[in-house]
Amino acid sequence: MAVLSPSQPAPARSGRPPRPPRRVGFSQRLGRWDVKLSPYLYISPFFVLFALTGLFPLVYTAFVSVHQWNLLGGQGDFVGLQNYVDVLNQPVFWKSLANTLSIFVLSSVPQVILAITIAALLDQNLRAATFWRMGVLVPYVVAPVAVSMIFGRMFADQYGFVNALLGIVGIDAVGWHSERFASHLAIATIVNYRWTGYNALIFLAAMQAVPRELYEAAVIDGAGRVRQFFSVTVPQIRASIIFVVITSTIGGLQIFDEVRMYDAAGLGGPSKNWMTTVLYLYDVAWGNQKNFGRAAAVAWILFVLIIGIGMVNFLISRRISTSGPRAPKVSRSHTRVLLERARAAGSSTTTPGEDR
Amino acid sequence: MHRSTRPTGRTRRLAAATAGITTITLALTACAGGSDEGSGTGSDAEDGSGEEITLTVATFNNFGYSDELLAQYEAENPGVTVEHVTAARSEDARTNLTTKLAAGGEGLADIEAIEVDWLPELMQYPDLFTDLSDPELEGRWLDWKVEQATADGKLIGYGTDIGPEAICYRADLFEAAGLPSDREEVADLLGGADATWEDYFEVGKQFVAKSDSAWFDGATPTYQGMINQVMDAYEDPATGSPKDLAANTVVKDLYDQIATAAVDDGLSAGLEQWGEDWVAGFQNDAFATMLCPSWMTGPIEQNSGGITGWDVADVFPGGGGNWGGSFLTVPASGAHTEEATKLAAWLTAPEQQTAAFEAAGTFPSQLEAQASEQVQSFTNAFFADAPVGEIFSERAKAIEGAPFKGPNYFSIHQSVQSALLRVDVTKEQDAEVSWQGALDEFASLGL
């Protein structure tokens, strides 16, 4: 700082009274830095911590992934992208990816729909509203491993509770551990059980912030409950929907506890029918192979994939939740163009916006 | 006037900026402090004086080391405090051990118990463990138990228990099916001293013809018993390199035999060991017999609450067999390896192992303990007062040695086990298709 401050030439005393060169003092400069830099300084603790606990592992994982690396033996030779090639050549990897996507779709989609519905119900005038609102959060408080163990028992093939119930209704027992789709459905149920209430509360909070006048206006316009929901509520809570969709995408692609606890071996079953990519990563790193290099490669592939899918559903959910006519694009250049056009047209004629 | 207001504004902002910087610094030093504290854990805190030391012993499940037993050591060795940590499942202990070994031994206990199943992966790195070989302890254990834990001439673990296998059976279900139910008669029925797997499956066919229950719990546990009798199942003992599974006729024959017995002959209850259905199967009379390493008597009793009729027969198809067993190791990174070695030797001495056997049913690997009066006369009330001490010592004598298990044993074994599960439990494939799947999996291991 001391280097920077005296760089200004000494003020000339000669007379040009109307416009003296502006003297920028150190205090002023400091003040300007303050305005510009302080906000970043204040939020920097998060980013410094993130760099330590998030960015460093990320980079280090990339480093591990280009080496031969055994859990116990440690770093081996540099192998370039061989680990990535190996992983991509493993049929189990692709199967785990398909399982992950299937479980993700089966969990996220019903979860968001169900959560919005529950939130809409909770948004009504209920007696003991706090009780009901806290009630939906209870599954979230239960440890995921405990939830998985209980559901694992319920979804047992031969002596399970669910199959017993189905038997009463006269439906044949479902092979929850033998049929691929059934196992995905069961695991998605466990995920949904845990997360639906949590998401419902986020939606509820957003719904309560929707101005009530909008509903009154809608009622006057003759909108029914359903129309109100789709034309007022959903567009108004758009931001929350995007938030929930993105968080549940990230969570959905990282499902681990539920599948790990779903059966005795915890490795996705004999045909790897419910092995997710994260479980595959775990098995490669800590299972029989103890191959950290390959596991790190899986981690990076998954990372890229999550970003990709996150972007895609960000775009999709933005489109879905923007209902009605599109809002005009607001950008500086656009405004400038409009202003110039208005000026060119002169003050006598109409300016945009006044003709309505 | 104008100027006079500025300095205050500046100072305030300066103060704010300083506060911001201080916050960051504080946050950073806080985490640095945290990590410092973290690295100071373990028992090396009191190092130096050599007087007061704490030794930690990490085990899993139930090793039978009671507080009284450890207190006895503390009393005999003043200045030593023994702490005992247990993991619920051996799998948890395995992850804990391997992860911490990978991290340079930080946070490991002074004595880490390991199961025979993880030995192959650890034996590749004998330097991570203290060499425990001691001329004075020669002849304490069964020879093959010592060989299992010896790598490059280094003994990395003292044997605790072994798992000699017998046959556990439901006397009440045998009786209902018109088979003899007395434990000597059952032993003879299954072939007595030279029982074979064919005998075992043949009696099974007679049984299932007259009963609603299956003969054994599942194909995989039974296959486990069969493969444990093959000395060089998946790898060449001389070189340690894996055999090509496609050309491994020994394994394929066993696979065909068990798949036929389990599915075609309908002897299997189609359960995956340790799964929810398997546990529930005990309550539902799902099966009448199962292969029974000595430690299995515990889980059977736990899962069979309210069921009476379990008994143990002194017989095992195909000769003797060992399933499981553990060791105590001393990680080389520990601060008190010498004292820890002494404690490990004491814990695995015949007297202590006998006490452990009485407490938890872990059958001793020590010759002297096996022959002791306490073990020989031990009976198990749940198994109709069967003389389990005597029976399992007999079964231990029938064990010819430990099969060779190299670094890739469990990867290959898992692919065959998965194939059997597809045939027997999920029934999604027939035996031939599923075997092809095992071969594909073997190929993808890239060995």
Do B48-162+325-375 and B163-322+389-444 agree at the fold level? yes
pLDDT, position B41: 39
* Spatial distance between the Cα atoms of B109 and B107, rounded to a whole number of angstroms: 7
pLDDT bucket at A15, cuts 50 / 70 / 90: low
Q: With 70 as the cut, is the pLDDT of residue B17 above it?
A: no
* Spatial distance between the Cα atoms of B44 and B417, rounded to a whole number of angstroms: 43
pLDDT, position B44: 42
* Mean pLDDT of the residues in chain B: 87
Average pLDDT score over residue span B360-371: 91
> Which tens digits make up the pLDDT trace of B303-352?
998 898 999 999 999 989 999 899 999 999 999 999 999 999 999 999 99
Enumerate the β-bridge partners of residue B287.
B214
Set of chain B residues whose Cβ sits within 8 Å of the Cβ of A92: 441, 444
pLDDT, position B5: 39
**Who wins on pLDDT, B15 or B130?**
B130
How many CB contacts within 8 angstroms connect chain A with chain B?
118
Judged by CB atoms closer than 8 Å, whether chains meet at B6 and A71 is answered as no
**Who wins on pLDDT, B12 or A64?**
A64
Radius of gyration, alpha carbons of chain B: 27
* Spatial distance between the Cα atoms of A78 and A66, rounded to a whole number of angstroms: 6
0.90 exceeded by pTM:
no
pLDDT bucket at B69, cuts 50 / 70 / 90: very high
* Spatial distance between the Cα atoms of A242 and A318, rounded to a whole number of angstroms: 7
Judged by CB atoms closer than 8 Å, whether chains meet at B422 and A160 is answered as no
Average pLDDT score over residue span B54-64: 91
Tell me how close the Cα of B169 comes to any Cα of chain A, in angstroms.
Answer: 21
Average pLDDT score over residue span B250-257: 96
Tell me how close the Cα of B79 comes to any Cα of chain A, in angstroms.
Answer: 34
Nearest to B288 by CA among B302, B272, B307, B260: B307
> Which tens digits make up the pLDDT trace of A231-284?
999 889 988 988 898 888 888 888 998 999 898 888 898 999 999 999 999 999
pLDDT bucket at A14, cuts 50 / 70 / 90: low
pLDDT, position B240: 85
Q: Which CATH superfamily is domain B163-322+389-444 in?
A: Periplasmic binding protein-like II (3.40.190.10)
Q: How many CB atoms lie within 10 A of CB B309?
A: 18
Q: How many CB atoms lie within 10 A of CB A101?
A: 17
A32 at B interface, C-beta within 8 A: no
Q: What is the ipTM of this complex?
A: 0.78
Judged by CB atoms closer than 8 Å, whether chains meet at A44 and B24 is answered as yes
Set of chain B residues whose Cβ sits within 8 Å of the Cβ of A86: 446
Average pLDDT score over residue span A35-63: 91
Set of chain A residues whose Cβ sits within 8 Å of the Cβ of B418: 270-271
Give residue limits of the domains in chain A: 90-324
Enumerate the β-bridge partners of residue B268.
B216
Tell which CATH classification among 3.20.20.70, 3.40.190.10, 3.90.79.10, 3.30.460.10 matches the domain B48-162+325-375.
Answer: 3.40.190.10
Percentage of chain A exceeding pLDDT 90:
45
Instruction: Annotate A143-161 with b (16+ C-beta within 10 A) or e (fewer).
Output: ebeebbeebbbbbbbbbbe
Set of chain A residues whose Cβ sits within 8 Å of the Cβ of B128: 72
pLDDT, position A18: 66
Give residue limits of the domains in chain B: 48-162+325-375, 163-322+389-444
Are B285 and B217 in contact by the 8 Å Cβ rule? The answer is: no
Judged by CB atoms closer than 8 Å, whether chains meet at B427 and A92 is answered as no
User: Can you read off the two tokens belonging to residue B92?
Assistant: 């948890």
Q: With 70 as the cut, is the pLDDT of residue A301 above it?
A: yes
Nearest residue in B to A51, CA atom: B28
Tell me how close the Cα of A108 comes to any Cα of chain B, in angstroms.
Answer: 27
Mutate to test the interface with A, among B276, B415, B416, B444 (most CBs of A within 10 A): B276
A288 at B interface, C-beta within 8 A: yes
* Spatial distance between the Cα atoms of B136 and B302, rounded to a whole number of angstroms: 39
Set of chain A residues whose Cβ sits within 8 Å of the Cβ of B101: 72
Nearest residue in A to B411, CA atom: A288
Q: Could you write out the DSSP letters of every residue in A130-163?
A: HHHHHHTTHHHHS-HHHHHHHHHHHT-TTT-HHH
Set of chain A residues whose Cβ sits within 8 Å of the Cβ of B95: 286
**Who wins on pLDDT, A1 or A108?**
A108
The CATH number of A90-324 is 1.10.3720.10
Are B93 and B60 in contact by the 8 Å Cβ rule? The answer is: yes
Nearest residue in B to A37, CA atom: B17
User: Can you read off the two tokens belonging to residue B270?
Assistant: 């189609």
Tell me how close the Cα of B192 comes to any Cα of chain A, in angstroms.
Answer: 34
SS3 A328: coil
Average pLDDT score over residue span A139-165: 90
Q: With 90 as the cut, is the pLDDT of residue B49 above it?
A: no
Of B24, B274, B414, the CB nearest to A48: B24
pLDDT bucket at B447, cuts 50 / 70 / 90: confident
pLDDT bucket at B25, cuts 50 / 70 / 90: very low
Judged by CB atoms closer than 8 Å, whether chains meet at B280 and A156 is answered as yes
Tell me how close the Cα of B345 comes to any Cα of chain A, in angstroms.
Answer: 26
Of A38, A91, A158, the CB nearest to B277: A158
